[in-house]
């Protein structure tokens, strides 16, 4: 995938692209990958990871970053599987990638709601969300993100994850 596609995938299914804060974490990523991989470092001057944390461990290959195309061109970082060194690359190139965090658990449930209320009314949707979150919290389920689909296939409502 491109760096941006990898970022989207990692954020959807895990937490973020891999953060490499030290040599020990670099070794873990190397052990998991069979080829060069995108990591969460991007954009000149290379000071932040994609999750916003400071980049203090920068294991550049000698001669890197070369910022080919200048500091204006979008640049992202791949990690070499053979050396563990970082290389700046065009973000649109295709590489494997490493994600940070555990695989997010997803569940789908079908619920049929019969009501006289207008199910497309945003206020009705807000009330349903509150009730669903309250019922889930009663059984210890938190950190949920709820959406539902109408019979015609239209995604009607999405909410933000609950805080615990």
Rounded average pLDDT over 4-11: 93
For residue 141, what pLDDT is reported?
76
Higher-scoring residue by pLDDT: 28, 159: 28
162, pLDDT greater than 70: no
What is the per-residue pLDDT for 41? 92
Q: Does pLDDT of 62 surpass 90?
A: yes
What DSSP line would sit under 79-147, residue for residue?
E-TTT--EEEEETTS--EE-EESPPPP----------SS-TT-HHHHHHHHHHHHHHHHHTT--S---E
Q: How confident is the model at residue 115 (pLDDT cuts 50, 70, 90)?
A: confident
Average pLDDT over the chain, rounded to whole?
Answer: 81
Confidence of residue 4 (pLDDT cuts 50, 70, 90): very high
Q: Give the chain's domains with CATH numbers.
A: 3-100 (3.10.100.10), 107-164 (no CATH)
- For the chain, the maximum distance between any two Cα atoms, rounded to a whole number of angstroms, is 68
- pLDDT for residue 103 is more than 80: no
pLDDT digits (tens, 9 = 90+) for 124-155: 878 888 888 888 888 877 777 777 666 666 65
Tokens of 63: 């001669």
pLDDT of the residue at 72: 62
């Amino acid at each position: 995938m491109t760096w941006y596609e990898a970022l989207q995938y990692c954020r959807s299914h895990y937490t973020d692209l891999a953060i490499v804060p030290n040599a020990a974490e670099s070794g873990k990523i190397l052990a998991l990958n069979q080829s060069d991989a995108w990591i969460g470092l991007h954009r000149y001057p290379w000071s932040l990871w994609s999750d916003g944390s400071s980049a203090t461990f920068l294991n550049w290959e000698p001669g890197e970053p070369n910022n080919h195309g200048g500091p204006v061109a979008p640049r992202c970082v791949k990690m070499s599987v053979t050396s563990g060194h970082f290389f700046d690359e065009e973000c649109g190139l295709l590489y494997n990638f490493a994600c940070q965090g555990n695989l997010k658990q997803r569940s789908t449930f079908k619920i049929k709601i019969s009501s006289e209320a207008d199910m497309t009314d945003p206020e009705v949707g807000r009330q349903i969300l509150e009730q669903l979150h309250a019922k889930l919290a009663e059984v210890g389920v938190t950190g949920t993100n709820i959406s539902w689909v109408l019979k015609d296939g239209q995604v009607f409502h999405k909410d933000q994850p609950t805080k615990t």
